[in-house]
Amino acid sequence: MLSSSGKKRGVMYKRVSTEDQRDNYSFPRQQKLLREKMKNDDVEEVHEPIEDVESGRDFERKGLKELFELATEKRIDYVYVLDLDRLGRHVAETPYLMYRLKEEGVIVRDPYEEYNFNDPIDYVIVTIKCYRGHSESLKIGERTQGGKIEKFSQGKWVGPVPLGFRKNAEGALEKNLEFEPIVNDIFKKYKITHDIKKTTQLINEAYLGKIGKLSTNQVKTILKNPIYDGRPRYGKTQIQAPQLAMVPHDLYVEVQSLMESKASRHKAKERKKSRTILDKFASEYGLDHVMVVFKLLKPICPRCGSLMDGNGSKPYEDIRLPNFVCTNRECRYQRTIPSIHELKHLRQKLLSCPKCRVVEDFVKTETLDGSVEYTCRRCGASFEFATKRENEKSNESPSNQTSEDHSNPEQPLTPKDWANSFDLLGHPITDKEAARTNKPQPKIRESGRKGQLAGQGKTLDEFWSKPDKADIKS
């Protein structure tokens, strides 16, 4: 789309990293060069220059959002930048940003060339050019960090000022003596309570008017900060500054020991915590990271439509189902997710024939010994899931168990065969895993006319690979 004058429409995008660069020659120089280029290209400037004073590695910049608004509204055809590192300093993000603009019909141009991505080699060229900016950004970060470490080693403070300290005219930290008794009290109260929340509550009650309200995270940061022991630290660099100590060394060491002991107990408790069916599914399919997000989501009450909160878990057979309660005080409806009915349906969905892998096509029969037998309608194979009690009996008498494993003694079940067996949830298990976890083991046998044919001299492999004519007629 052309402008009212029949020309292509363009906008300039300028970026610097700091306010100091904004005030010097950088912005005016960028604008002068880009305006000359737009004039030579016969492109009309239809919008005032877009400016950003942010790091090139931040792709949530205000100016970029404004640029994309112009692109999605089809108000521009070109965006002019002095160099690709003005758009961004990332070897992957910057080319993707340019590709997104191209998808909106906007082409990026610098004083030397345009990047329209008409040829696949354009992506390679852009990536190589962006590598220079990315590499330079990393080097700048390393130099900046190295400078801060050197400055810190010489006694200058380069991080946020902790509670109870202030910076002097030389840039070094010094104690604010009014806060020293308060910091001491924080350590002493934690030594008594062994609880950060309780310590925070007591400190806020006592010193709210002097230091304002502290959060539990702020109190935890104070308790773990070695500067109060006279050993300030920046990153991995630590220096000795006994003049900054606010807490006796013995008290500081004792508090650290208490916190580490409590943290180790919490980790051990988490390891012993029973896992729900959702945790088992997530672990089996490599989706543990999804569970972190999933646990932030709340279900809706089926009765009143309010949100439901977690309310422990309820045992069912060999697993625990997460339980939820409605937040509406007038409702307070509780349910597990999944419910027992939904879980049974899920197990049925996951159940498959060990021979032909068909699902949901079985004849179900409950036997007298408490197990459930399934007969596949497609291939005729029968298999059953024994109860826990039957498994325990079979474990006590191994000779009986081996006699029931398979109807064909010439074809004993191998570990590979057991890999095709399923537990109650329909998941593959091995023989060793089944014995270790005491999960029910399926027993496979042939039944009906197929079993009779197999017993009349035809091996199972021959039978399954080539159907019998009589069987086809029936």
pLDDT at 285: 53
Q: Which domains does the chain have, with CATH numbers?
A: 8-137 (3.40.50.1390), 165-270 (3.90.1750.20), 277-346 (no CATH), 351-473 (no CATH)
Q: Which regions of 199-243 does DSSP assign to beta strands (E)?
A: 233-234, 237-238
Q: Which of 180, 142, 177, 174 is nearest to 155 (CA)?
A: 174
Contacts of 29 (CB under 8 A, 6+ apart): none
pTM above 0.85, yes or no: no
Across the strands, what pairs with 445? 382
> Count of alpha carbons within 13 Å of 308, Cβ hemisphere only?
23
pLDDT tens for the 474 residues of the chain, in order:
666 777 899 999 998 887 766 666 578 888 888 999 999 999 999 999 999 888 887 888 889 999 999 999 999 999 999 888 888 888 888 888 898 899 899 999 998 888 888 887 888 888 888 887 788 777 777 777 777 888 888 888 888 889 999 988 888 899 988 999 999 999 999 999 999 999 999 999 999 888 889 999 899 999 999 999 999 988 888 899 999 999 999 999 999 999 999 888 877 776 665 555 566 656 655 555 555 555 556 688 888 888 888 888 888 776 778 888 999 988 999 988 878 777 776 665 556 676 666 655 667 776 665 667 777 777 777 766 544 444 444 444 444 443 333 334 344 444 334 334 433 333 444 444 444 444 444 444 444 444 444 444 444 344 344 444 444 333
Contact 338, 278 (CB under 8 A): no
Residue with tokens 């308790």: 223
Q: Which whole-number Å values give the CA distances from 74 to 17, 62, 67, 105, in the listed order?
A: 29, 19, 11, 8
Q: Which uninterrupted H or E stretch holds 70?
A: helix 62-72
Distance between CA atoms of 122 and 347, rounded to whole angstroms? 52
pLDDT at 108: 93
Amino acid at 385: F
pLDDT at 219: 93
pLDDT at 145: 77
Distance between CA atoms of 7 and 1, rounded to whole angstroms? 9
Distance between CA atoms of 135 and 140, rounded to whole angstroms? 9
Give 259: exposed, middle or buried? Use CB within 10 Å, 0-12, 13-18, 19+.
middle
Q: Which of 50, 123, 121 is nearest to 82 (CA)?
A: 50
Per DSSP, the residues of 377-439 read: TTT-EEEEE--HHHHHHHHH-HHHHHHHS-S-TTSPPPHHHHTTEE-TTS-EE-HHHHHHHT-
Asked whether the CA dihedral 359, 360, 365, 366 is positive or negative, the reply is positive
Contact 434, 415 (CB under 8 A): no
Distance between CA atoms of 279 and 320, rounded to whole angstroms? 10
pLDDT at 271: 65
pLDDT at 340: 79
Give 128: exposed, middle or buried? Use CB within 10 Å, 0-12, 13-18, 19+.
exposed
Q: Which of 291, 303, 345 is nearest to 327 (CA)?
A: 303
Q: Which uninterrupted H or E stretch holds 373?
A: strand 372-376
Q: Which whole-number Å values give the CA distances from 404 to 319, 400, 412, in the listed order?
A: 28, 7, 11
Phi, psi of 6 (to 5 degrees): 85, 10
pLDDT at 373: 74
Q: Which of 147, 106, 108, 159 is nearest to 130 (CA)?
A: 108
